[in-house]
Structure 1
Amino acid sequence: MKRQNLSRQSGFTLVEIAIVLVIIGLLLGGVLKGQEMIENAKIKNVINDLKGVSAAYYSYQDRYKAIPGDDAAASTRFTGAVNGGGNGAIAGVYTAVVAPALAAESNNFWQHTRMAGLLSGVATATVALPGTHAAGGVLGVQANAYGITGTVVCGGSIPWKMAQAIDTQLDDGNSATGSIRASLAGAANLATTAVANSVYGPTVPATAILEAGIHTVCMKI
């Protein structure tokens, strides 16, 4: 009777397994690094958006000796512009989407600065929508927020990690103190069609930047 040779099961050697693991590690590292670079770029762009609104505010004030949005003589400077109250404060919330009016100076801000050529976007006698920042949320201005007195620029729909990074890079990293403050919004800011959204607008005390949820971040101008 012939003896049958037992077939040997082939397998990977330790060296081969090590090489595969190294390759997988390099691929994962490249993906994670790419994601980190994209996230850092987005954070930088949101910061630039906030600073851009602040720069437009001061440029307008320097040029016309008035606060954009609150400018009581805007109609004499730009065709179709709606005058503000001229009391030194911007009325209305940053998420407001209504026609420019005395009671909606947060919208007048966009009309005045755009008509002055300081910010880009559509501005007519009846339309002046808030801006949008690099993370996709509403960008706007209002008076006072989270304990900050004076004009602030706010961005909604900002993920907690991004909110924390912005606060850390520009201020003290504490959402309840300093010139940059934040509050847990609870959901993505979809206030682009609302007159005023108390959920996403800065109408509640600042809270710690928690890991869960979306934040509204406000910076003093």
Structure 2
Amino acid sequence: MTQNQRGFTLVEIAIVLIIIGLLLGGALKGQELITQARIKSVAADFSNITVAIYGYQDRYRKLPGDDDLADSRWTSPQAGKGNGNGSLDDGSVASILNCAADTAKDSENCKLWQHLRLSGFVAGDPSSKIAPQNSAGGFLQVQNGALGNNGLTICSSGLSGKIAGAIDTLLDDGKPGTGAVRGSDKATELSTKLADSAVYSEDSTAVYVVCKSL
């Protein structure tokens, strides 16, 4: 006795396709929501760190990291002190990652993070000079000048082209080579910048660092 195998009807196939479409649409929408949340978080980092630095200067009349009285102000844990000349002397470094680990932890721009934590302006281990991470998994850094901008500058690394472009557009002119906010896909060469005509690439695997002047 033979059995007739019954296939799917057009209606059943249509229903399956609709369900798959809804699932894919939900996943893509969810990914976009995550990206938007990261954009807002990275933008907030620039604002919050600026407020923290100015708050520290207002309270102690010293630049965090450069504070030459920090070691006597905080002794448990012991704070590393700066030289008190009003500048992050060790901050003009080539790499965004110089405070991402215990390497170069005696640089003033690494001591900055400990001073901000000890004073309560930034959350985290008050004994640590390691830079905090951003929502994209990169690191924050404060230094003297970066990507063609002079003066105290905040940088955020490990950003996709979509996030980097959105941050630049939100806070500045959207162009990586001009303005107060600048970007580069060479995170280890912060002394250089992209050409003024360059744009952030959203359809590549390029990872950007974005820097903003205070």
TM-score of the aligned structures, taking structure 2 as reference length: 0.81
The residue type equivalent to 1:205 in the other structure is K
> Do the aligned partners of 2:138 and 2:158 also contact (CA within 8 Å) in 1?
yes
The CA RMSD measured in Å over matched residues stands at: 2.4
- Cα deviations across residues 140-174 of structure 1 (Å, max 9, x unaligned)? 11010111111111111111111111112222111
Structure 2 runs not aligned, ≥5 long: none
> Which ranges of 4 or more aligned residues in structure 1 deviate by more than 3 Å?
7-20
Q: 1:95 aligns with which of 91, 94, 97?
A: 97
- Give the corresponding residue for 2:184: 183
The residue type equivalent to 2:117 in the other structure is R
- Cα deviations across residues 107-131 of structure 1 (Å, max 9, x unaligned)? 121121111111122233xx41111
1:1-221 correspondence to structure 2 within 5 Å: 11-79=7-75, 80-91=78-89, 92=91, 93=93, 94-96=96-98, 97-100=103-106, 104-124=107-127, 127-185=128-186, 200-207=188-195, 208=198, 209-210=200-201, 211-221=204-214
Task: Report how many residues are paired.
Answer: 198
Q: Distance in 1 between matches of 2:143 and 2:53?
A: 12
| SS at structure 2 position matched to 1:98 | coil
Deviation for aligned residue 1:43:
1.8
Deviation for aligned residue 1:11:
4.8
- Give the corresponding residue for 1:196: none
Q: Distance in 1 between matches of 2:160 and 2:139?
A: 13
Q: Distance in 2 between matches of 1:112 and 1:213?
A: 33
- Cα deviations across residues 22-62 of structure 1 (Å, max 9, x unaligned)? 33222211111111111111222222222221111111111
Q: Distance in 1 between matches of 2:54 and 2:85?
A: 17
Deviation for aligned residue 1:86:
2.7
Q: Distance in 2 between matches of 1:35 and 1:95?
A: 27
| SS at structure 2 position matched to 1:131 | coil
Structure 1 runs not aligned, ≥5 long: 1-6, 186-198
Q: Distance in 2 between matches of 1:78 and 1:129?
A: 18
- Cα deviations across residues 167-205 of structure 1 (Å, max 9, x unaligned)? 1222211111122111013xxxxxxxxxxxxx5251222
TM-score of the aligned structures, taking structure 1 as reference length: 0.79
- Find the structure with the greater CA-based Rg: 1
